[in-house]
Structure formats: C-alpha cells, structure tokens
Amino acid sequence: MCRLLRILWPLPVSAFGLLLALLARGSGGTWRRVAGVVEASGGWPARVLRAGLPFSGPVAAITFGHVVLGDSTASLDATRAHERAHVRQFERWGVLMLVLYPLAGALAWARGGDPYRDNRFEREARAAERKP
C-alpha cells in the first residue's frame, strides 16, 4: 500500500513528465525504464535543457515525479543518484513540490544565496550523489 501511495501522490506531475517523455521520443529521443523510473533523453526536451532553465541555466537532467528527462543517456547515467533524490522528494511531497521547490529557491535568494545551488532540495540531491 505504501508503494502505491508513493506512486499516486506525485501522479499528476509524473503524467506531465510522461507527456514530455513522449515529446522526446517523438522528436528523435529515446526512453527506458530504470528501477521504476522512466528516463527519457534527446529530442526536443533535450534542446530545452541545454538552452537553460530560469535560475539554473543549462541542466543535464530534470525530474517530474517518476520521470527524468536528460539531454543524453550519458547525462542520465551520470546524474542518476541526484535525480533519484528528486524522485524521492516527489514521493514525499507529491504535487506540493511544484510549489515547495520554487519557494525554497526564493527563500535561498532572499537569504543572499543562489536560488538553485542553495535550494534545500538541490542540497539534498547533491548530498545523495556523495553516498555510496
């Protein structure tokens, strides 16, 4: 039952991520399922990631619920621990992540920090990269 709730709680965000994964696939990208997470790379979403996002600039990958979009399969492999931390955050916070993440960035900025690097959710994901 707990696993089911972890899937359902962020489901609207995952559905949006699946739409983006379909766009990636339909525009020349690929997708695969790795440990219960859909990973899509290439295509139109990859061009957006490389062009850059507000506050962070270009990124190698981004997570939407149980879907991770990357600019390449190599990027997905390299960022897997980091992005899985974001998947767990979506499992914990569900659709609220869509509000909490930018609020954490705004709070970091208001405190004189960087809205991306000092965002509590990004710090948690970077810490997950260092775990064996």
State whether residue 110 is helix, strand or coil. Answer: helix
Residue 132 pLDDT = 66
Beta bridge partners of 53: 57
Domain count, the chain: 1
- pLDDT for the residue 66: 97
- Phi, psi for residue 40 in degrees, rounded to 5: -120, 140
| 3 state DSSP class of 35 | coil
Other Cβ atoms within 10 Å of 113 Cβ, number: 13
pLDDT of amino acid 102: 95
**What's the distance, Cα to Cα, between the start and end of the chain in Å?**
28
Q: Tell me the pLDDT tens digit for each residue of 55-91.
A: 778 999 999 999 999 999 999 999 999 999 999 999 9
Counting as low any pLDDT under 50, the low residues of the chain are none
pTM of the shown model: 0.92
Position of tokens 């690929």? 30
The confidence score (pLDDT) of residue 22 equals 95
DSSP3 helix / strand / coil % (the chain, rounded to 5)? 60, 15, 25
Range of the domain at 99: 2-129
